[in-house]
Amino acid sequence: MNETLEGMKFLLEIDMSDPAFHDNAATELGRILRYWAGNLRHYSLEPGCRESVYDSAYREVGQWSVALPADDGNTAASP
């Protein structure tokens, strides 16, 4: 196991009350997950790394972050 990853968490929070989710939540969430699945390789994925997540209309609907177990995801530094 890579010791630099030990104990770290990847946190993804999406507000599904956004209008983009009303007609087809599974489609919108799938689009977001596919986008980030392809783009995570561009990030260092170390504690403090975070990015906003946008819906298909480019409205911010959440964020992802990398945190240590004691970190709730709200104290990490911005990139």
Q: What is the pLDDT of residues 55-71, one digit of tens each?
A: 988 999 999 999 987 75
**79: Cβ–Cβ under 8 A, 6 or more apart, which residues?**
43, 48, 49, 50, 51
Print pLDDT tens along the chain (79 aa).
445 778 899 999 999 998 889 988 999 999 999 999 999 999 988 999 999 999 988 999 999 999 987 755 555 444 4
Task: Report the C-alpha gap between 53 and 31 in whole angstroms.
Answer: 11
pTM for the model: 0.75
Q: CB under 8 Å to 71, separation ≥6 — which residues?
A: 9, 47
